[in-house]
Amino acid sequence: MQRLKGRKAKFAIVVTVLVLIVVVLLFSGIDFNTARNPLTDAIESGESTLTAIDTNHQSMKDFTKDQQDEAKSLLKTAQVSQGQANKSLTYARRTSDEFVLSMAQNYALLLDSSEVMNQGVDHLLTVNDELQKALDDYWQGSYQAASDNASMCLQTLESLTGQFEQNNQTLEEINYRYLASGKKDQVKYAVAEFQDAMAIYLQYVQLLRTIKDGTAYLQEATKTNDLLDKLQHALANNKNQDAQQLLDELSKQLEQLKDPRFQSAASLASKIDPNLLNGPAQDAANDLKNQLKDAQNIQRFENYLSSVEKFNEASTYLANGEKDKAQQAADQGLAILAQGQDGSSGTGDIQRYSKALEFALNSLEMQIRGQPDQG
């Protein structure tokens, strides 16, 4: 009886030890499924990676639409998919099969890019408050405050621009021969989604850089716009003398804006693509491209002013009964205006004012020839 009790005690101890070992192994994350198939793991990692990229892309799009809660939720969902993909990749690489290893390498490249997308959305969400302040300040004309807030955003965002560009180059290394059956088009689509998300992220950076570095130009642009408004008023009221004085002031102002310190900011603005943004950010992008005129747009503006000057001359000659001189001046005005129409639209204000001036010159020519005004 004593021996039986001793054996039972020893058996209980052994069972207890075995249970403890199993518990430790379970909590250590060791997989007991020794029959895992590396090919299956590679395929599963690809599925999870493609899901993560698609989710991150949608998260980025939601951010541009100011749908912050949706963007955050999708961000977390993408992180779960990335974790699953990473785990499957770990198992898939435990093989000597060249095809499986190459497939795993392809999906690893995509997974790295998905993680950069994830960081990109996270960075944008982190700086969103400062971003909105910068845009609000911009529209209020508080350009220095806008610049300060833009600078704060860039401290976070610029750290990832190089990583985006590096991963974009790395994705060119994908070997489409080593993919699961029928996945080639899906992988190409995932690469396109990464590139779209990268383009959006870099546009926010470009927008903020322009706001940050464009303060001085924006302040001068305000003066230019004020003069331009006064010019339009003088023209509408046939105040030719006032218009000529304003033309002289505007010419000096435009000459100043050709300075390299202003043109560097204009160069930044010219590279913004508003179509990649939405809402207030898109509006600000369009306005910056209009306000910060590069050398080519300044030339269009100068052509417009020269044409206005010829319009003034023609109007004065006509009022004095000198029709031949009026006709010549009007023709010159139209010719100068046409020089700026090189097939590109230019900035919004220049295009709009040029169209209006073209109509006015044609109308004036009709009067010179003794025909009824087009209006």
Q: How confident is the model at residue 35 (pLDDT cuts 50, 70, 90)?
A: low
Decide: residue 81, CB within 10 A, 0-12 exposed, 13-18 middle, 19+ buried: buried
Residue 4 has pLDDT above 70, yes or no: no
Per-residue confidence (pLDDT) for residue 88, from 0 to 100: 95
Give the residue among 368, 374, 373 at the shortest CA–CA distance from 326. Answer: 368
Per-residue confidence (pLDDT) for residue 341, from 0 to 100: 61
Q: Give the mean pLDDT of the chain.
A: 87
Per-residue confidence (pLDDT) for residue 299, from 0 to 100: 87
Buried-exposed string 148-159: b where 16+ CB fall within 10 A, e elsewhere? bbbbbbbeebee
The phi, psi pair for 179, rounded to 5°, reads -135, 160
Q: How far is CA 339 from CA 172, 247, 263, 298, in A?
A: 43, 19, 22, 13
Per-residue confidence (pLDDT) for residue 7, from 0 to 100: 53
What is the per-residue pLDDT across 297-317, written as a single tens digit (0 to 9) for each?
888 889 899 999 999 899 889
Across the range 198-227, mean pLDDT stands at 95
Q: How far apart are CA 93 and CA 69, in angstroms?
A: 37
Q: How far apart are CA 187 and CA 179, in angstroms?
A: 9
Q: How far apart are CA 193 and CA 187, in angstroms?
A: 10
C-beta separation of 127 from 69 below 8 A: no
Buried-exposed string 187-219: b where 16+ CB fall within 10 A, e elsewhere? beebbebbbebbebbbbbbbbbbbbbbbbebbe
Q: For residue 6, which amino acid is it?
A: G
Give the residue among 323, 264, 322 at the shortest CA–CA distance from 292. Answer: 264
- List Cβ<8 Å contacts ≥24 apart for 183-187: 183/46, 183/50, 186/50, 187/46, 187/50, 187/106, 187/110
Residue 132 has pLDDT above 60, yes or no: yes
Identify the DSSP state of 172. G
What is the per-residue pLDDT across 66-116, written as a single tens digit (0 to 9) for each?
999 999 999 999 999 999 999 999 999 999 899 999 999 999 999 999 999
Q: Which domains does the chain have, with CATH numbers?
A: 34-213 (1.20.58), 215-257+294-368 (no CATH)
Residues sharing a CB contact under 8 Å with residue 34, sequence separation 6 or more, in sequence order: none
Residue 146 has pLDDT above 50, yes or no: yes
Query: What SS3 class is residue 177?
Result: coil
Model pTM score = 0.79
Q: For residue 71, which amino acid is it?
A: A
Q: How far apart are CA 239 and CA 218, in angstroms?
A: 29
Q: How far apart are CA 125 and CA 119, in angstroms?
A: 10
Q: How confident is the model at residue 342 (pLDDT cuts 50, 70, 90)?
A: low
For the record, the structure tokens of 54 come out as 């698609």
